[in-house]
Amino acid sequence: MRMKFFWVPALDSAAAEQEINAFLAAHRIVQVEKHFSPASGSHPSGWALCAQWMLGTEGTEDRT
């Protein structure tokens, strides 16, 4: 099982949303964990996501 991590800012999230949606549509997703992180100091608020995915059945490894 593979893992891919994403950060989605709470504001101006369109680019991150597009990246995540493209990744999810292109892979066999097993589970997505998400955690909201409030702003702290210079760190903006947003979502941390971890997508767990499986390689395809054809035996070709996706390097994304």
Distances (CA, A) of 59 to 7, 35, 41, 62: 29, 32, 45, 9
**What was the pLDDT predicted at 63?**
56
CA angle 12, 31, 61 (to 5 degrees): 95
For residue 61, what are its two tokens? 């490894």
Cα atoms found within 13 Å of the Cα of residue 63, Cβ hemisphere only? 0
Considering only residues 17 and 58, tell me which one the structure prediction assigns the higher pLDDT. 17
Using 50, 70 and 90 to split pLDDT, how confident is the model at 58? very low
- Segment 2-50, tens digit of pLDDT: 999 999 999 999 999 999 999 999 999 999 999 999 999 999 999 999 9
**What was the pLDDT predicted at 59?**
44
**What was the pLDDT predicted at 3?**
97
